[in-house]
């Protein structure tokens, strides 16, 4: 039997695929390595490129837009319809100027966030990989035996003197 048509949701959204389903894993609880993966060095490069683009390409043009928008439109005050149109024009200019400024600021914030995330998680991934290698080494799942004088490492053989030799 299947899911009734009215419970399937809108047709345009039926091909939506969950982030957990990347690579064909339909079970979000399964740990098969599928899901969202991020290339941290590439994210750091993206952040630098975005910041560079905002500084070199966006900001000079945005300032030109600000300068052009600062020029007031003129009209005769005795022509009421023109005065209303100019009032609307001023309001639209303020919204447009705010949008241009917000886009530039938002892009800078996004570049900063991407850079910070890449730096923080790059270090944590390296730490996690090192800790995993340690665990595998001490569990004997890697070819190298534990080479440590750490007193917490159990030598081969009985650990309790009462168990005998």
Tens-place pLDDT, residues 70-116 = 888 887 778 888 888 888 999 999 999 999 999 999 999 999 988 88
Reported confidence tier of residue 145, pLDDT bands at 50, 70, 90 = very low
* Rounded (5°) CA angle 72-75-76: 145
Report the predicted TM-score, pTM, of the whole model to 2 decimal places: 0.53
Residue with the bigger pLDDT between 22 and 129: it is: 129
Total domains in the fold of the chain? 1
Would 108 be classed as within a structural domain? yes
pLDDT of residue 126: 65
Specify whether the CB–CB gap between 41 and 53 falls below 8 A: no
Would 59 be classed as within a structural domain? yes
pLDDT of residue 21: 52
* 151 φ/ψ angles, rounded to the nearest 5 degrees: -65, -15
pLDDT per residue as tens digits for the range 44-54: 899 999 999 99
Would 5 be classed as within a structural domain? no
Would 118 be classed as within a structural domain? yes
* 25 φ/ψ angles, rounded to the nearest 5 degrees: -85, 105
Specify whether the CB–CB gap between 68 and 58 falls below 8 A: no
Alpha-carbon distance 45 to 26, whole Å? Answer: 32
Alpha-carbon distance 48 to 112, whole Å? Answer: 9
Q: Which domain holds residue 64?
A: 39-70+78-125
97 DSSP 8-state letter:
H
- Sequence-ordered alpha helix ranges (H) in the chain: 40-53, 59-69, 80-139
């Amino acid at each position: 039997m299947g899911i009734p048509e009215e419970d399937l949701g809108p047709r345009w959204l039926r091909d939506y695929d969950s982030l957990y389903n990347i690579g064909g894993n339909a079970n979000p609880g399964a740990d098969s390595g599928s899901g969202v993966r991020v290339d941290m060095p590439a994210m750091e490069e993206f952040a630098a490129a975005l910041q560079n683009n905002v500084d070199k390409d966006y900001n000079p043009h945005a300032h030109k837009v600000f300068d052009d928008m600062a020029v007031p439109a003129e009209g005769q005050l005795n022509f009421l319809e023109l005065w209303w149109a100019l009032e609307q024009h001023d309001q639209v200019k303020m919204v447009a100027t705010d949008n241009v400024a917000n886009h530039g600021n938002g892009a800078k914030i996004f570049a900063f966030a991407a850079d910070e995330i890449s730096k923080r998680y790059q270090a944590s991934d390296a730490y996690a990989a090192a800790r995993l290698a340690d665990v595998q080494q001490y569990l004997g799942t890697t070819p190298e035996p534990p080479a440590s004088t750490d007193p917490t490492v159990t030598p081969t053989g009985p650990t309790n003197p009462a168990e005998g030799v």
